[in-house]
Amino acid sequence: MPDVETRTRAADAASEAPALALRDVGVVFGAEANRPVLANISLDVREGEFLSIVGPSGCGKTTLLRLLAGLMKPTTGDVLFEGKRVDGPSRARAIVFQDYANALLPWRTVAGNIALPLERAGLSKPEREARVAALVAKMGLDAAANRYPAQLSGGMQQRVQIARCLAQKPRVMLMDEPFGALDALTRQTLQDELLALAAEQRVTTVFITHDLEEAIYLGDRVIALAANPGRVVETIDVGLPKPRNQLTTREDPAFLARRHRLFGLLQGH
């Protein structure tokens, strides 16, 4: 039965197609044609993986994430989502911004913010409320559900933003230094919560950070960028066992070796 065979092969090809891909992407801002922000970047984000992208400030990390989100277009090259060219933002790709305080609607309560993506999904009110309640519980926001963002700590606000992204049931979650503005303890807690969520929801995640250890601790793979112009210098498979642990993983010789390697690479440039 040739029909079945071709169909399986097509399905295989589709599942092997990267969730997101950049093909020879370059970005130039304004008149500074001689100083591109990103140059000749090609990379794949695999279906279901957790990809960390790390690099020094000014290497175009945020620009790269905005390209993947569809919030901007590359000057040259292509951005592909599930094999199709990206021509704008989509609900299938959720974004978590670093500046949670600006990204939440200050006039809506925590529950109201999480409900925002659900309001057009054709859900009945009880269904919507149940979904919001489930997300509130999952992110540990029960006590805060009826408070306004300005009344919450930074860590809680970032939880709300992540919950809002999960509410839109994305296939890819794009995170732009989401924990960069948080204190060390809160950051570690949120890192572990995020890993658990990503594993449970099996959502492809691209995580931008300037923190080497964070990149390795969270990632299945780490892509290192260098600046002037922003370009890929190295891609490594992390290969550390999961679930990860703040103490044992970070003391694992393999973890330290990766950290050494990336540190050297980024220093060298």
Please report, as ranges, the residues that interact with other proteins according to CB under 8 A. 69, 71, 88-91, 93-95, 97, 99, 102-103, 105-108, 116-117, 119-120, 147-148, 150-151, 168
CB nearer to other proteins: pick between 121 and 254: 121
| Burial of residue 261 (number of CB atoms within 10 Å: 0-12, 13-18, 19+) | middle
CB of 71 to other proteins, least distance (A): 6
Q: Mention every residue, 6+ apart, whose C-beta is less than 8 A from residue 37.
A: 27, 28, 29, 60, 63, 229, 230
Which residues lie across from 50 on neighbouring strands? 205
Shortest reach from residue 241's CB to other proteins, in Å = 34
Task: Give me 19's structure tokens.
Answer: 């969730």
Task: Report the residue number, 29 or 107, with the smaller CB distance to other proteins.
Answer: 107
CA pair distance 67, 78, nearest whole angstrom: 10
**CA nearest 161: which of 146, 185, 141, 142?**
141
Compute the least distance from the CB of residue 189 to other proteins, in Å: 23
CA-to-CA distance for 135 and 21, rounded, in angstroms?
30
Judged by beta carbon, residue 57 or residue 102, the one nearer other proteins is 102
**CA–CA distance, 125 with 102 (Å, rounded to integer):** 27
Q: Min. distance of Cβ 177 from other proteins in angstroms? A: 14
* Shortest distance (Å) from residue 106 CB to other proteins: 6
Distance of alpha carbon 102 from alpha carbon 110, whole angstroms: 14
Which one, 97 or 217, has the nearer CB to other proteins? 97
Question: For other proteins, which is the closer residue by CB, 97 or 207?
Answer: 97
**Considering beta carbons, is residue 84 or 120 the nearer one to other proteins?**
120
Say how far residue 99 (Cα) sits from the centre of its chain. Answer: 14
CB of 150 to other proteins, least distance (A): 5
Q: Measured from the CB of residue 68, what is the shortest distance to other proteins in angstroms?
A: 11
DSSP calls for 86-124: --S--TTEEEE-S-HHHHS-TTS-HHHHHHGGGTTTT--
Angle at 19 between CA 16 and CA 21, to 5 degrees: 100
Of 73 and 147, the one with the shorter C-beta distance to other proteins is 147
Q: Which residue, chain included where needed, has tokens 């305080």?
A: 101
- Classify residue 235 by its DSSP letter: E
